[in-house]
Amino acid sequence: MITKKAYRFLPFICGLFVATLLISVSIAGKLISLGPLTISASVILFPLAFLFSDLLTEVYGYTAARQVIWTGFIAELLLAVCYFVTVALPWPEFFQNQEAYATVLGQAPRVVVASLCAYLVGEFCNSFTLAKMKVHSEGRYIRARYIASTMVGQAADSLVFYPIAFLGVIPLLQLPALIASTWLLKVLWEVIALPASIPVTKALKRLENEDYYDKHTNFSPFRLAD
């Protein structure tokens, strides 16, 4: 990974971020009932995933976050391919769990494409918004910046994922409500997680002796270094 200087905790955060993404994909098929809402179990890990995303941009800058975002994308793509191959490989007659494996690990290609596209768009919108707001606010209002970047990133994520994954599958009139409820829940998670995420961010800045400002950064998602 190309960075401006050696950081002690960046590889650790990158590893946890990618692990969180892969676990989220693995448990996404489990549905949970929360009152009138039916949501994916992957929402359990949402606060942790966006804590890492916010940490990467706030402490190390957009360039480091961009590298980790692409690392996560490649890991998710590799996982999807491995799941597909695992389910498709022939199995012996005495193996009784093929249907269970296919049910849990098998994902429709359309959902996989939707998930990968939504991840890239949402993460880059989140990181871009946070980096720009940090420069314009001169590092102030960190709570507002965390919430605002999550609002933008999760709006982009939901607006990409649900139409690609479910347009034509569920009634068209239900899509806006599904997008809005998912977005609202994730924003609320970010607000709830603030008492933990802000102290962790401040501690990491002290430990790394870094508080990067993206004043001259090239924000293209496809450029791995400045």
Q: How far apart are CA 85 and CA 69, in angstroms?
A: 25
Domain boundaries, the chain: 10-89+96-208
Q: What is the pLDDT of residue 128?
A: 97
Answer yes or no: pTM beyond 0.85. Answer: yes
CATH 1.10.1760 fits 10-89+96-208, yes or no: yes
Q: What count of other Cβ atoms lies within 10 Å of the Cβ of residue 100? A: 9
Q: What is the pLDDT of residue 2?
A: 45
Q: What is the pLDDT of residue 27?
A: 84
Query: Residue ranges of the chain with pLDDT lower than 50?
Result: 1-3
Q: What is the pLDDT of residue 59?
A: 97
Alpha-carbon torsion 5, 205, 125, 25, what sign?
positive
Q: Residues 6 or more apart from 94 whose CB is under 8 A from it?
A: none
